[in-house]
Amino acid sequence: MKTKKMSSNTLLLIITICLFFVMYGAGCVMYSAKGFTHLQTFLNILINNAGLLCVACGMTCVMLTGGIDISVGSLIALDCMFLAVGMERWGMSGPLLCVLVLVIGIVFGLVQGFCVGYLQIQPFIVTMAGMFFGRGMTAIISTDQVPISNEWFVGLANKKIQIPFGAYTNNKGVLQVPYIRISVVVALLVLIIIFLMLRYTKFGRSLYAVGGNEQSAIMMGLNVPMTKLKAYVLSSFLCSIGGICFCLNTMSGNVQQATGLEMDAIASAVIGGTLLTGGVGNVIGSFFGVLINGTISTLVKTNGKLLSSWSNIAVAALLCFFIVLQSVFAKIKERK
């Protein structure tokens, strides 16, 4: 029997997956009276975090090249505000606005990617400027809370896709069929496409090559600036898809929307085993990172007594833990 030696990266991923099951299991034991054990609770985590999942996929691609994108939160706020104001005040049609939002994402990514790839400015500075730019643009569009009442969009948001198993009768005697929303389907599709892309396409492999060692990527003849540019465009594009999913949940546009989402996305990717230095990572890991993120906030919400800032702190602590773990592994590798 052949035994493959486990690398530290697979170990990180395994720790993450175990952590998720332990956390979810603990939730089931502690809050079984509040319905934590039902399938719908798990599906709700997916529904609530569909947008985050899209963003985390894009973030993983950028982090594979050794960069980072912290503009995602404010880009989502910009998208939501654009959708809301577009439908309610400018009277534009829903599908057209969705396409426009995607175009905004691509343009946003092009500018950021150009600055990072071709001008060689630190990604953090560029995307931080992008973060403030996005938030400010949102305020320029409108500073009010704009709820969406567009028929097409409301229909889209309320559409339930029922799942044929896991039904149960609640304490009022009504049969509850578990369901997911459109946004979950979109997010899972994005996840699968990005997973296949990273594994089997030339672009996917070159992302790993650029992040692993930029110098050797140049020597191999890869167009490094172009690869980076594409990574940022991809991230902003996926972020815009995430923005639409996010808007389907919140159904409004608000300047303060999705603050700190960049932190959640980065935390998800890091928890899922993506190295901050680039070159190592996987969207499957990020998927579990998002699930852990969602479980934490669901646990805090189910408890009911804890302040909502606890979930922020818990995610930050987890991120800190995994960063330290990564750097310890890196040090051990260096010593070898």
- What residues from 224 to 263 belong to the interface with another protein (CB under 8 A)? 255, 260, 263
- Locus of tokens 């079984």: 32
By CB under 8 A, residue 126 contacts another protein: yes
Tell me the two tokens of residue 87.
Answer: 């439908």
Which of 17, 39, 43, 121 binds another protein (CB under 8 A)? It is: 121
Our CB check for another protein shows the closer of 128 and 188 to be: 128
Triad 110, 48, 286: Cα angle to 5°: 55
Our CB check for another protein shows the closer of 148 and 262 to be: 262
Our CB check for another protein shows the closer of 21 and 118 to be: 118
Q: Which stretch binds another protein (CB under 8 A): 33-41, 48-56, 120-128, 289-297?
A: 120-128
Which of 11, 107, 124, 147 binds another protein (CB under 8 A)? It is: 124
By CB under 8 A, residue 190 contacts another protein: no
- What residues from 39 to 78 belong to the interface with another protein (CB under 8 A)? 68, 70
Our CB check for another protein shows the closer of 142 and 176 to be: 142
What is the helix (H) or strand (E) element at residue 253, kind and residue range? strand 252-253
DSSP conformation letters of 19-38:
HHHHHHHHHHHHTGGGTTTS
Nearest distance in Å: CB 68, another protein: 7
What is the helix (H) or strand (E) element at residue 204, kind and residue range? helix 202-212
State whether residue 181 is helix, strand or coil: strand
Nearest distance in Å: CB 120, another protein: 6
Q: Which stretch binds another protein (CB under 8 A): 2-10, 83-91, 131-139, 205-213?
A: 131-139
Query: What are residue 168's DSSP bridge partners?
Result: 176
Task: Please state the length of the chain.
Answer: 336
Amino acid 218 reads I
What value does the CA radius of gyration of the chain take, rounded to a whole number of Å?
Answer: 20
Cβ atoms < 10 Å from Cβ of 265: 35
Nearest distance in Å: CB 199, another protein: 26
Buried b (16+ CB within 10 A) or exposed e, 79-111: bbbbbbbbbbeeebebeebbebbbebbeebbbb
What is the helix (H) or strand (E) element at residue 175, kind and residue range? strand 175-176
Residue numbers at the binding site for another protein (CB under 8 A):
68, 70, 115, 118-122, 124-126, 128-133, 135-137, 139-140, 143, 255, 260, 263, 266, 276-277, 307, 309-310, 312-313, 315-317, 319-320, 323-324, 327-328, 330-331
